[in-house]
C-alpha cells in the first residue's frame, strides 16, 4: 500500500494564500523603503535636496508648486512607513504560524484513514511475528537450558536484540501490543504477553 502525501500548501485556505501574497508584497515594499531611505540619506549627506531645487526652478518659471519636504522630513516619513510595514509583517507572520498549524491539522486528518489501516496491518504482522518468535525462543532457550547448545547454528539468530523477549510482559513489545489494542488495531494482547 503506497500513497502520496499532498503538499502542505494544498491545505491552506484562500484567505491564507491571499495573506501570503500580501506578505510577499509587503516584503518588497520593505526592501524598496530601505533603498529609498538609503538614497535620501546619501542626498542628505551630500547636502542635496532635489525637490527643493525643483521648487526653486518652478518659482523662477512662475509655476505654483507645493513646498518641498526637507530631507529630514522625508527620512522621518520613510522610516515611519518602514516601521508600519515591519509591524504589518509581524502581524502577518503571527497569523501565518496559526494558518500553518491549521493546515498541518487538516493534512493529518486527511491521512488518518491510511494511518489507521497501516497501524492495523503493522499490529497484525507484529503479532504474527511475535507468535513465531515465541516458539523460536522457547526452542532456543530449551536447547541452552538443557546444556545442548546451539551447535551447527541451529536457533542461533539473535532476534531478542531487535524484538526483545517475546514473553516479557513489561517490555516495549508488550507496551506496543497494549497500545495497539487501545487503538483498536488488535482484539487482544498476545497470550504470552498478558
Helix residue ranges, H only, the chain: 14-46, 50-60, 71-145, 160-163, 172-182
pLDDT in tens, 43-56: 877 766 667 777 88
Q: Where do we find the cell 516458539?
A: 135
Q: Where do we find the cell 496559526?
A: 98
Mean pLDDT score of the chain: 92
The span from the CA of 170 to the CA of 112, in Å, is 29
The span from the CA of 128 to the CA of 189, in Å, is 12
Residue 176: all three cell numbers together? 506496543
| pLDDT the model gives residue 49 | 65
Angle between helices 71-145 and 172-182 (to 10 degrees): 110
| pLDDT the model gives residue 46 | 74
Identify which has the larger pLDDT, 3 or 94. 94
Structural domain spans, the chain: 8-193
Average pLDDT, integer, range 175-181: 97
What DSSP designation does 148 have?
A: -
Amino acid at each position: 500500500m503506497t500513497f502520496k502525501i499532498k503538499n502542505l500548501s494544498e491545505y491552506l485556505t484562500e484567505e491564507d494564500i491571499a495573506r501570503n501574497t500580501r506578505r510577499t508584497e509587503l516584503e518588497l515594499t520593505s526592501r524598496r523603503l530601505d533603498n529609498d531611505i538609503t538614497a535620501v540619506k546619501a542626498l542628505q549627506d551630500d547636502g542635496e535636496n532635489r525637490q527643493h531645487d525643483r521648487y526653486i526652478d518652478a518659482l523662477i518659471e512662475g509655476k505654483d508648486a507645493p513646498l518641498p519636504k526637507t530631507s529630514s522630513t522625508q527620512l522621518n516619513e520613510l522610516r515611519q512607513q518602514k516601521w508600519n510595514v515591519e509591524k504589518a509583517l509581524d502581524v502577518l507572520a503571527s497569523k501565518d504560524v496559526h494558518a500553518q498549524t491549521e493546515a498541518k491539522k487538516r493534512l493529518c486528518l486527511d491521512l488518518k484513514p491510511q494511518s489507521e489501516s497501516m497501524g492495523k496491518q503493522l499490529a497484525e504482522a507484529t503479532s504474527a511475528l511475535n507468535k513465531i518468535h515465541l516458539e523460536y525462543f522457547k526452542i532456543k532457550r530449551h536447547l541452552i537450558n538443557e546444556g545442548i547448545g546451539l551447535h551447527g547454528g541451529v536457533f542461533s539468530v539473535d532476534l531478542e536484540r531487535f524484538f526483545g523477549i517475546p514473553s516479557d510482559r513489561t517490555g516495549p513489545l508488550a507496551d506496543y501490543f497494549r497500545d495497539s489494542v487501545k487503538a483498536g488495531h488488535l482484539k487482544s494482547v498476545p497470550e504470552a504477553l498478558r
